Amino acid sequence: MIIGIDLGTTNSLAATWRNGESMLIPNAIGQVLTPSVVSLDERGDLLVGQAARERLSTHPQRTASVFKRYMGTNRALTLGERDFRPEELSALVLRSLKADAEAMLDEPVTEAVITVPAYFNDLQRKATQNAGKLAGFEVRRLLTEPTAAALAYSIGLGADEHYVMVVDLGGGTFDVSLLHCFEGVMEVRATAGDTFLGGENFDDVIIAAFMEEAGSAAGIPPIGQWAPVHGALRRQAELAKRRLSDADVAELALVYQDRPLTWSMSREKFEHLSEPVLARVRLPIERALHDAKIDPATLSQVILAGGATRMPMMRRMIGRLFRRMPMSHINPDEVVARGAAVSAGLIARSAGLEEVVMTDVAPFTLGISVSHKGEDGVRTSGLFMPIIERNTVIPASRVKVVTTIEDNQTSLNLEVFQGEAPLVKDNIKLGTMKLRLPPAREGEVGVGVRFTYDPSGLLEVEATVDKTGVTQRVVIEGNPGALSPQEVAERLEKLSALKLNPRDDAGNAALLSRAQRLFEQRLGRTRVLIGAALAEFLSAIDGQAPAQIRVAAEHLRKVLDSHDDESSF
């Protein structure tokens, strides 16, 4: 069985293609959005999703979020006494979605289509593929998020030729893609984006205004310094931002050093202060249009994806830029997962789906480092020689030949880079390979360097020495940002040994984390009420009698519901 997965910065979703349509898979607590958050509890068990998210403010040292930002790096994220790589944390989220899918579909789910931002580089894509492997999936395809969004709208499935722009502003990443659709072919013609721009930047705007007007005066430490209250502040800011999509004013309520603090912000002010962030959103849109040489007037559709596109200022800005209102009738939080399900359906050749050929483009220029010997004999090294240019339609395979620059040169260090800068030092290094060369005069030995980009946007490099005919493959795994197959196997073993909180306990775990958060946030009588209900729930859990646990859980939930303004979580 194959499913589609949107592995998001803030939330992840799984979906399947069933009876001719995409169907979202609910998690163990009945929600389709599973927060991409992992926490290690005091017993050493792992919590994923809602229960982990509730612990962001109560147990920040044992909880990790937004790790998608670090995919493709070897940054260690510490939970309690353990270190995790970003792909391991992603794997834990994927493992939880896999269990949810198996519970709903009642059969083993072994394959997945996983979405990635169109702007993800080779290391980030490989890290995502490894996360899938670590979760026990065969990753059939990595699909770019905007392509998935367009697929969900069934764009590209018709015969008419048209251009579509997908604007995807999620929690932490921003992607813009221009798709060319014709006769069942869907081609991403240009991609642009910013991997450090998302809904969170708008949360930051609210946090900064709050600190300036109220927070600093109340003694809250500056944001750069670590303080437990910052978790709760971020949560409140995010909530206020969401409310401001519908309301004219939103309130932010916090408790700091046992003192309640309230502050409010108008939508008008929020929009005014957000102008610099909104200006950053415009840049990639303009770059994608420019790269593809497309006039906004020739676009037939603009599609919105990502929760942050719900902000009215985003919609207005896009409407002005394209002189038409964007399409958004599919929930922007769900559109990518639904498209991944279409892709999964296409791979499984499900009924009700016409054949679509989907192609993509290379998001970056890929090339190698070369040296140049001038007429005067002076050598300049570290120059970037592109082999596959940005926005080349993939799958693609290109060869370029380099020749020796010295007599009897016996080896060649082939270094692979991606980026747009003329000097390799300004680009990202993907890997190195050492080639042995037969002795000969300068310029007499040629090496054919072949770059192949597969449909998932993963790169393979091969080099053939013309004189010997020997072909070698560059192992792009020599980079600290990517795990080698052996490392994947080792990590898989370690990860399997960790205990994931059981699915049938997910509701109780989320309730417990929520109660702990609210207990910490509230004061006075409310705190006493929550404390009493929590104690009753904990003793019921200790007693292990299912009926008693149910009653205590129900009571605790009622108490929390009547005091929690964050019930949207």
For the bound state, the minimum distance from the C-beta of residue 172 to ligand AMP, rounded and expressed in Å, comes to 7
For the bound state, the minimum distance from the C-beta of residue 253 to ligand AMP, rounded and expressed in Å, comes to 17
**Among residues 493, 487, 479, which one has the least CA distance to residue 72?**
479
168 is catalytic: yes
For the bound state, the minimum distance from the C-beta of residue 19 to ligand AMP, rounded and expressed in Å, comes to 26
Q: Which stretch binds ligand AMP (CB under 6 A): 140-148, 306-314, 442-450, 546-554?
A: 306-314
Q: Which helix (H) or strand (E) holds 245?
A: none
User: Is residue 157 within 8 Å of residue 342, measured between CB atoms?
Assistant: no
Q: Which is nearer to ligand AMP, 32 or 353 (CB)?
A: 32
Q: Which is nearer to ligand AMP, 142 or 433 (CB)?
A: 142
Q: Which of 68, 98, 133, 241 is catalytic?
A: 68
Buried b (16+ CB within 10 A) or exposed e, 148-171: bbbbbbebbbeeeeebbbbbbbbb
**With binding defined as CB under 6 A, does residue 315 bind ligand AMP?**
no
Looking at 193, 306, 367, 431, which residue binds ligand AMP (CB under 6 A)?
306
Q: Which stretch binds ligand AMP (CB under 6 A): 58-66, 194-202, 443-451, 522-530?
A: 194-202
Taking the CA of residue 478 as centre, how many other CA atoms within 13 Å lie in the half-sphere pointing to its CB? 13
Pairing of strands 459-465, 471-474: antiparallel
68 is catalytic: yes
Q: Of 466-525, which residues contact ligand AMP (CB under 6 A)?
A: none
Side chain identity at residue 181, one-letter code: C
Q: Which is nearer to ligand AMP, 298 or 568 (CB)?
A: 568
Q: Which stretch binds ligand AMP (CB under 6 A): 141-149, 304-312, 386-394, 418-426?
A: 304-312
**With binding defined as CB under 6 A, does residue 126 bind ligand AMP?**
no
Buried b (16+ CB within 10 A) or exposed e, 267-306: beebbeebeeebeebeebbeebbebbebeeeebebbbbbb
Q: Which of 54, 87, 100, 145 is catalytic?
A: 145
Looking at 307, 326, 386, 419, which residue binds ligand AMP (CB under 6 A)?
307
Buried b (16+ CB within 10 A) or exposed e, 330-349: bebbbbbbbbbbbbbbbbbe
**With binding defined as CB under 6 A, does residue 170 bind ligand AMP?**
yes
Window 326-365: contact mask with ligand AMP (x via CB under 6 A): -------x--------------------------------
**With binding defined as CB under 6 A, does residue 49 bind ligand AMP?**
no
Q: Which is nearer to ligand AMP, 140 or 241 (CB)?
A: 241
**Among residues 169, 312, 195, which one has the least CA distance to residue 248?**
312
Q: Which is nearer to ligand AMP, 64 or 447 (CB)?
A: 64
Position of minimal CB gap to ligand AMP: 199
Distances in whole angstroms, Cα of residue 67 to Cα of each of 77, 131, 567: 8, 12, 24
Q: Which is nearer to ligand AMP, 50 or 369 (CB)?
A: 50
For the bound state, the minimum distance from the C-beta of residue 6 to ligand AMP, rounded and expressed in Å, comes to 8
Return the HEC string of 466-481. CCCCCEEEECCCCCCC
Looking at 87, 200, 334, 360, which residue binds ligand AMP (CB under 6 A)?
200
For the bound state, the minimum distance from the C-beta of residue 366 to ligand AMP, rounded and expressed in Å, comes to 28
User: CB neighbours of 305 closer than 8 A, spacing ≥ 6?
Assistant: 145, 146, 149, 166, 167, 168, 169, 170, 332, 335, 336
Q: Which stretch binds ligand AMP (CB under 6 A): 7-15, 388-396, 469-477, 482-490?
A: 7-15
Taking the CA of residue 238 as centre, how many other CA atoms within 13 Å lie in the half-sphere pointing to its CB? 18
Q: Of 241-300, which residues contact ligand AMP (CB under 6 A)?
A: 241-242, 245
Question: How far, in Å, CA of 468 to CA of 452, rounded?
Answer: 22
Distances in whole angstroms, Cα of residue 273 to Cα of each of 206, 214, 306, 464: 8, 16, 21, 56
Question: How far, in Å, CA of 321 to CA of 514, rounded?
Answer: 42
Q: Which of 54, 87, 100, 168 is catalytic?
A: 168
For the bound state, the minimum distance from the C-beta of residue 305 to ligand AMP, rounded and expressed in Å, comes to 7
User: Is residue 500 within 8 Å of residue 45, measured between CB atoms?
Assistant: yes
**With binding defined as CB under 6 A, does residue 10 bind ligand AMP?**
yes
422 phi-psi bin (left φ>0, alpha ψ -120 to 50, beta other): alpha
Looking at 9, 16, 96, 365, which residue binds ligand AMP (CB under 6 A)?
9
**With binding defined as CB under 6 A, does residue 175 bind ligand AMP?**
no
Buried b (16+ CB within 10 A) or exposed e, 188-227: bbbbbbbbebbbbbbbbbbbebbbeebbeeeebeeeeeee
For the bound state, the minimum distance from the C-beta of residue 10 to ligand AMP, rounded and expressed in Å, comes to 4
Window 202-241: contact mask with ligand AMP (x via CB under 6 A): ------------------------------------x--x
Angle at 514 between CA 513 and CA 517, to 5 degrees: 85
Q: Of 132-151, which residues contact ligand AMP (CB under 6 A)?
A: none
Side chain identity at residue 282, one-letter code: R
**Among residues 6, 54, 10, which one has the least CA distance to residue 35?**
10
Q: Which is nearer to ligand AMP, 202 or 322 (CB)?
A: 202
**With binding defined as CB under 6 A, does residue 27 bind ligand AMP?**
no
User: Is residue 102 within 8 Å of residue 76, measured between CB atoms?
Assistant: no
**With binding defined as CB under 6 A, does residue 310 bind ligand AMP?**
yes
Side chain identity at residue 67, one-letter code: F
**With binding defined as CB under 6 A, does residue 96 bind ligand AMP?**
no
Q: Which is nearer to ligand AMP, 4 or 8 (CB)?
A: 8
Return the HEC string of 327-361. ECCCCCCCHHHHHHHHHHHHHCCCCCCCCCEEEEE
Looking at 192, 207, 232, 311, which residue binds ligand AMP (CB under 6 A)?
311
Question: How far, in Å, CA of 20 to CA of 351, rounded?
Answer: 7
Which residues are known to be catalytic? 6, 68, 145, 168
Chain positions contacting ligand AMP, by CB under 6 A: 8-11, 170-171, 198-200, 238, 241-242, 245, 306-308, 310-311, 333
